[in-house]
Amino acid sequence: MRKACMAALVPGVLVVIALVLVLTLFLIKLVWAWTIPDIFPGAVKEGLVARDIPWYTAFKLAVTIAVLAGIGRGSMHRE
């Protein structure tokens, strides 16, 4: 009975993780394209800052944010 439950649970969890990842990447790309040209218009015009970022860069940014959030959460629990 337990193996059947786990066999049904694992694919569902993997689907949820994949959906959260795709949504996170989409939101990072959207927020970047929405805010960066307004914050750094001259740098975007001169090509110093990208107006849009590729999916792989959004993934790297998401990983960086997750690591920083994990470090921050870990330091809060130690106090």
**CB-side neighbour CA atoms (13 Å) of 37:** 9
Q: How far apart are the first and last CA of the chain?
A: 42
What is the full DSSP assignment across 39-54? HSHHHHHHTSS-SS--
Pull the structure tokens for residue 78: 């130690």
Place of tokens 């193996």: 3
pLDDT for residue 52: 92
C-alpha span between 52 and 56 (Å, rounded): 12
Whether the per-residue pLDDT at 4 is higher than 80: the answer is no
pLDDT tens-digit profile of 19-54?
Answer: 999 999 999 999 999 999 999 999 999 999 999 999
Selected residue with higher pLDDT from 70 and 44? 44
